[in-house]
Amino acid sequence: MSRVLLTTAYLAPISYYMQLCRASETVIEQHDNYLKQTYRNRCVIASANGLQTLSIPVIKPDSPKCLTRDIRISTHGDWQHRHWNAITSAYRSSPFFDYYEDAFRPFYEKKPLFLFDFNEDLRQLICRLLDIMPNISYSTEYIRQTDADMSDLREAIHPKKRENRSDFTEYYQVFSEKYGFQANLSIIDLLFNMGNESILVISV
């Protein structure tokens, strides 16, 4: 069992939860400079029209650099309504959407202030639904260099990184007949399609 260092992530991909499940300890970085076009504020789901990216709009900081923990969520474009509509449209015919719908809907009705807090509240919910209890701590300052027994995965799990499908266990997906199996989507793709059997996919 290893220790891992991760960023915060919005409805993180399956690979993120695989790390949470395997690691003896996970440190979530909150003192890094916020970077655009990462899983910090976006996730990828499978829709009827193919892969769909959902991005949370954030308020641009006054300075060129801003700590991730200080990034505020913008109300621009009614993003919560759009995200929930996209999730509902993509997964309403999945086997377990009705079972989990009431747990996720409130996150798209309240007005969150900080991205980090919103992501963490979602992560804690998802861990409960997956029935995993990762050992989580948060950085107290920016971690410039990890110890020999810690894997730095802060930028390893990234939307622009090409995934090796063989690293992921295939499972039922609503649109697999149309698009084939799509690996490492948001964890909600796994939950809505596989329910309490999701743990069998992330714990291999």
Q: Take residue 191 and report the two structure tokens written for it.
A: 């939950």
For residue 198, the model assigns a pLDDT of: 97
- How far apart are the C-alpha atoms of 29 and 142, rounded to whole Å? 7
Helix (H) or strand (E) holding 151: strand 150-152
Q: Tens digits of per-residue pLDDT, 41-83? A: 999 999 999 999 999 999 977 777 899 999 999 988 899 999 9
Hey, where are the domains in the chain?
3-202
Residue 150 has pLDDT above 60, yes or no: yes
Q: Tens digits of per-residue pLDDT, 171-180? A: 999 999 999 9
Q: How far is CA 20 from CA 54, 59, 92, 119, in A?
A: 22, 29, 27, 15
For residue 123, the model assigns a pLDDT of: 98
In this prediction, residues 110-122 reach a mean pLDDT of 96
Q: Take residue 46 and report the two structure tokens written for it.
A: 């499978």
For residue 65, the model assigns a pLDDT of: 83
108 confidence band (pLDDT: 50, 70, 90): very high
